[in-house]
Structure 1
Amino acid sequence: MGDGALGSDHINYLILRYLQEAGHENAAKALHQDWHRPQEYGDPEKLPFAPLVKQHELVHIIQDAIFHDQLLAQVTNQSRRFNLTTRQFAHRASTDRRPSTNQHDFPLPPAKRSRKSNDDLNPDSMQIDHTPQDDHQDADGQPTPDANEPDHIPTTSSATQTDKKLKSKSETMYWALDQPDANIMHALWNPQLSQSTRLLTVGESLCRFYDLPHQTKNGLQRAHHTDAETMPKGSVITAACWHPSGRYATCALDSTRRLPGGGHESVRSMFDATVQGTKRFYDLHGYLLQHSAIIVALRYNNSGTRLLSVSTNMKRGLVEIWDASQSGTSLDPVAVKLFNQPVIDAVWASDDSIVVCGENRLDFYQIHDASLPNGADANGDSFASTGTRNFALQYSHPTDKQWDKVRYDPVNGVVAATSSSDDCTILLAKTSPRWVPLSGFPAEGPASKRATAMAFQPVDTANDAGLTLPRRLAVTHDSGLVRVYSVAPNLCETLHEFTMGPHEAALALSWSPTGSCLAVASEEAVKIWDLNAGSVPLLTWRAAATHWYQGDENNLPNGDETGDEPSLNWDAEGKRLVFAVGRKMAAIRLLMPSKTAITKDEFGVAD
């Protein structure tokens, strides 16, 4: 190894020796089995350089590199490149027999960062991180300094030839909200390609549009925004969605108003908002719930002609349907249905049918012309017609669970529902007139693997129209597990099983517009998989601590719990992701390398 050019066999052998000396026998055996060597070197000890490797060689190489980095920083009067340790290493003379290491060679991780004042940030600007990031990043979340690296990294090996690795990188724009009391719940790109730079962000004291550039030219750039609504103190946008046309967004606002006697009462409102500020308000029937309630879901059907809202006060539920094709400054619902138990979610199964889920409920309804008087259906739930539409119960699936999320695949007509309280997910396929569990899908979730997010891949209207074919369903779990299923009308199979990492919950997911790539987020990281290329992540992104945590006590590293769940959303171009937690946001742009390169790990991984 005199020329300093280490190949895969060198690195693999050093790691193998380290694992053996550290007592990690299972890991050493796994590396030995996965390491593909020429037949004459079936025994790694027969590699030509093996006799030159002394005891604890890998640790000493790393220590020497850290010492060299320290000296280089002192000579050049610059900061150290590798800040992995906090102690000063005394340089040791090179000897044939090196002493063994001790527990102080690699100190414990640094202490938690202290909370800093929000005044340290300029919240109106975006910090542009031009350093390309790939899936090899250091432990505290900062990207490795690989700005000058080529996309193809050549390596050599004295025993085997190592191919070049294809690296996926990213460019990130960071920014923070300029409202101390604001908190992001949803960040949603405009669904239309022509307006793909427009971003809606809503949450606590927040209803805002951003217009972000496709690419960045300066190290510091303004995050231009327009507030669609003046938010009263303590108010929150509980649900929001874009109209499929992208012309406006619909938001549900929960706030309070002060009464003459000094008390307060809850106020619900729902409106359409645009960047220009024009709005259309909706006449809500929340008084039917008799107690304060919030809107928990808003959904447009595929054609954008109808809108449904789901409200609950955790004792009863309410679903309202609007005719979105009507013009005017305000709209009345065309159909209203009151449920005797909480309703938590609903989804369109077609332009005139919905699936409703909640406590002890997974029901299928048809929305049709009003022909029945106001009254009660077979379940004893009330419905009230405004004179144009009624709910007709098609099927009620027998259940004793509380279903929290429901999704529908229009290609194969399959319903998916999750229950976090019962740690259960179910897939139902229609066998007229019933809906039955789909064969091959595990109905009961594994222990400690509560489902956190779920979505079918988007419908590719150009290729999927009129076809019945297997479709992908992604489900994330709080254990960090990510499962992708292949769903057909009569069978479900597990395609992939990924993980976000040890002790890192998978909390949000988003499909690329074509459905070929899946992005999954934890509180601080995003992983992207190209499902046509295998199980190795296309990109692993972690929030850079210098941009993400400094000056914002709502976003702290090292496991500080804030209760904020991340929002993750792919833009209409399939080139950028928006990732938001608390008051911090990041727009992650993928910089895809050339597809002509041969993908193979260049070092540090068994080849």
Structure 2
Amino acid sequence: MAETLSSNAMNYLVWRYLQEAGFGNAALQLSRCWIRDPDTLPFAKNIDPHTLIRLVQDGMCFDQLQAEASNTEPRYRFGPDHGRPFSARNGNLLTLDKGIPAYELAAESNGAVQEPPPKKSFRRKKPTKTANGAEPRPEPEANGDAMDIEQNGATHVTNSVRAESEPTVSDAESPTITEIAISTLSIGQDALIQTEVIADLTPGTVFIPRPEDFAKIVEHTSWGPLDSAVILAAGKSLLQVHAVNPTISTLDIHLPVNNFDITALCWHSGDEITVSVREQYSNEVGDKMMMDKLIKLTEGGQESHVISSTAGLINTLRWNAERNLLLSISTDGEKGSIKIWKNDSDSIPAWTEFTDTAIFDALWISDSAFVVCGIKLFKIYEVGDSLTAQRTLDTRITWETVKYDAASGIVAVLGIDEQRGYLGILHPNDSMSLQTHEHPDEYPTDLDFRVRTVANTQTNGSSVPSVLLATSSMSGAARIWDANEPFNCVKRLPTTDGTQAFKIAFSPDGSLLAAAGPDAVTIWDVERREVPVASWRAREWTSDKWNPGVDGEFSLGWDPDSSRLSIALGNQIAIITVPR
């Protein structure tokens, strides 16, 4: 008897197809609405690459054979014209313009399908500018009507939310964007002129050498604290410290584990750091086993000791310097686990708490309180003689990222519900209500508060100072909000070439704002003007230096003195100097 497909099995096949075909963002949205980690389903290990395509093609062949045997017409016919082809991420041919469907590119070139471009291993030529000074988009490539399946059976699963070939909403379907008035920020008279040159930061880029061992994969990057301005790279079988002065020197840090994957990390000081490590090993009968360990490194990584081997799979670590408390967040199935250590010599945490749903992010908001967010979860805990839930706020939204502004006491979160992005604000003036607002740009990705200084403190027309909160999105725009007036958007800032922004961050001194994705970095001085002051483009580099199409986690970070920033994708780490 033939096996029947359950909804979980069908969803999993579609989810795998979306990833293999390059529709990474659609796959992410499906998993958010269905199940957080589809690969944990019991049958997932039995599914080969491209199973959905093979299943459908087998069904088409069966229908054809059945029609021939019964002398009838096939039930499934799509006709000879399947429309203009889209680029396939894992096919032999790719469009160069990330995120723009091939049919739109072909329309721009009067429907003519162009010859394939040179291989990416060569430096791309700068496009010729048109009469109005704009650079034309790269031309499309056809990938044929038939679905290409790789013969080697390799699986391309990406952790990135980047979808290079997803169709964009047409102009006719796009919502009308109301023009935003000049903000209440003190942006100066040059904002009306906007004739200043946008600095090109690309030529001064320094690239950190990639690991020679292909088994080592960078999954996390983090700049050290002010007293140790180095960048840490961590991931699968990898933990390295890179000093950039301006030449690069690299130190491999030894861990007392083998075949490991670092799942979370946090700095304590310039020479102390805690990492969560998942180690894979085989038992005496050859079965593969996993063990999670919490390890503290001291003396600049020269010394290490295991804090705990029972902490579980940790996805977030946060250090409380005021009280020397270490907060860890784990996920056990569908539930979240909170553990707090007050002494790194104790193998058992001082406090433990569980939530009914998974936790995705957490932050200390005082020396004794922290906030956690996750699937329909927003909760504030207080650490005293015991660990207590101070506030539990009702929410239907899955909150994925949380940020806190210490000067104002405002907490901001970014989340999703039914494929819509939401921004949330918890204001101290209304501490029992989480205010929410549907984000105006599709697929919001990140948020960050600006550190308030005497120089950049402004008011919103009264005695109340503005609290600037920036958000990024995959739609090619960043926004600045005044969190003291939810939800007052004071600026909408288009990114360089309209590229997707996965991450956004204010410089530590609060003077600059950077939004970045695999294709470009855009930097604004929000006090002076709404057009960028500087930009960085990946297309100026050959793929051996920076390839925006590789799979992997994307990250953005500023060094402590705000003079450089880093971007990382896969095993690529670029250090970009920002002139002041």
For Structure 1 versus Structure 2, the TM-score category normalised by the shorter chain is 0.5 to 0.7
1:95-124 C-alpha deviation (Å, 9 max, x unpaired):
xxxxxxx979x99586263579xxxxxxxx
Query: Are 1:403 and 2:399 matched, yes or no?
Result: yes
Describe the shift of the 1:268–1:165 C-alpha distance in structure 2 as closer, same or farther (beyond 3 A).
Answer: same
Q: Residue 198 of structure 2 contacts residue 532 of structure 2 at CA under 8 Å; is this kept in 1?
A: no
SS of alignment partner, residue 365 of structure 2: strand
Report what 1:589 is aligned to: 577
Amino acid at match of 2:205: T
Distance in 1, matches of 2:405 and 2:493, equals 22
Report what 2:215 is aligned to: 181
Q: Counterparts of 1:147-166 in structure 2 under 5 Å?
A: 165-166=196-197
Q: Of 172, 190, 199, which residue of structure 1 is paired with 2:205?
A: 172
Report what 2:297 is aligned to: 273
Q: Counterparts of 1:231-250 in structure 2 under 5 Å?
A: 232-233=258-259, 235-243=260-268, 245-250=269-274
Report what 1:226 is aligned to: 252
Report what 2:450 is aligned to: 457
Moved more, 330-339 or 107-116: 107-116
Amino acid at match of 1:416: A
Query: Are 1:211 and 2:206 matched, yes or no?
Result: no
Report what 2:47 is aligned to: none
Distance in 2, matches of 1:334 and 1:432, equals 31
Q: Counterparts of 1:356-435 in structure 2 under 5 Å?
A: 356-369=372-385, 390-422=386-418, 423-431=421-429, 434-435=432-433
Query: Are 1:512 and 2:543 matched, yes or no?
Result: no
1:395-417 C-alpha deviation (Å, 9 max, x unpaired):
21111222212222222222212
5+ residue gaps, structure 1, are 1-101, 117-135, 142-161, 216-220, 287-292, 370-389, 593-607
Amino acid at match of 1:341: T
Q: Of 524, 528, 553, which residue of structure 2 is paired with 1:565?
A: 553
Report what 2:439 is aligned to: 445
Q: Residue 311 of structure 1 contacts residue 317 of structure 1 at CA under 8 Å; is this kept in 2?
A: yes
Describe the shift of the 1:358–1:542 C-alpha distance in structure 2 as closer, same or farther (beyond 3 A).
Answer: same
TM-score, normalisation: structure 1: 0.59
Distance in 2, matches of 1:453 and 1:163, equals 27
Report the CA distance between 1:229 and its aligned residue. 2.9
Amino acid at match of 1:184: V
Higher relative contact order (CA 8 A, sep 6+): 1
1:170-192 C-alpha deviation (Å, 9 max, x unpaired):
42111332231222222211121
Distance in 2, matches of 1:109 and 1:429, equals 56
Q: Residue 405 of structure 1 contacts residue 417 of structure 1 at CA under 8 Å; is this kept in 2?
A: yes
Describe the shift of the 1:140–1:265 C-alpha distance in structure 2 as closer, same or farther (beyond 3 A).
Answer: farther
Describe the shift of the 1:354–1:230 C-alpha distance in structure 2 as closer, same or farther (beyond 3 A).
Answer: same
Describe the shift of the 1:302–1:230 C-alpha distance in structure 2 as closer, same or farther (beyond 3 A).
Answer: closer
Report what 2:119 is aligned to: 113
Q: Of 273, 277, 282, which residue of structure 2 is paired with 1:253?
A: 277
Distance in 2, matches of 1:334 and 1:109, equals 64
Q: Residue 210 of structure 1 contacts residue 224 of structure 1 at CA under 8 Å; is this kept in 2?
A: yes
Q: Residue 336 of structure 2 contacts residue 357 of structure 2 at CA under 8 Å; is this kept in 1?
A: yes
Distance in 2, matches of 1:115 and 1:269, equals 40
Report what 2:231 is aligned to: 199
Report what 1:296 is aligned to: 315
Distance in 1, matches of 2:109 and 2:433, equals 60
Distance in 2, matches of 1:391 and 1:456, equals 28
Report what 1:578 is aligned to: 566
Report what 1:70 is aligned to: none
SS of alignment partner, residue 398 of structure 1: coil
Aligned length: 397
1:556-605 C-alpha deviation (Å, 9 max, x unpaired):
45xx4x4323211101111001111111111111234xxxxxxxxxxxxx
Report what 1:152 is aligned to: none
Report what 2:330 is aligned to: 311
Report what 2:516 is aligned to: 521
Amino acid at match of 1:456: F
Report the CA distance between 1:279 and its aligned residue. 1.9
Q: Counterparts of 1:14-93 in structure 2 under 5 Å?
A: none
Distance in 2, matches of 1:210 and 1:345, equals 27
Distance in 2, matches of 1:280 and 1:237, equals 15
Report the CA distance between 1:368 and its aligned residue. 0.8
Report the CA distance between 1:298 and its aligned residue. 1.1
Report the CA distance between 1:284 and its aligned residue. 5.1
Report what 2:478 is aligned to: 482
Describe the shift of the 1:351–1:450 C-alpha distance in structure 2 as closer, same or farther (beyond 3 A).
Answer: same
Report what 2:53 is aligned to: none
Moved more, 355-364 or 418-427: 418-427
Report the CA distance between 1:504 and its aligned residue. 2.7
Distance in 2, matches of 1:242 and 1:139, equals 45
Q: Residue 338 of structure 2 contacts residue 353 of structure 2 at CA under 8 Å; is this kept in 1?
A: yes
Report the CA distance between 1:492 and its aligned residue. 4.0
Question: Percent identity of the aligned residues?
Answer: 24
SS of alignment partner, residue 414 of structure 2: strand
Q: Residue 507 of structure 1 contacts residue 520 of structure 1 at CA under 8 Å; is this kept in 2?
A: yes
Q: Counterparts of 1:3-14 in structure 2 under 5 Å?
A: none
Report what 1:62 is aligned to: none
Q: Residue 293 of structure 2 contacts residue 310 of structure 2 at CA under 8 Å; is this kept in 1?
A: no
Report what 1:96 is aligned to: none
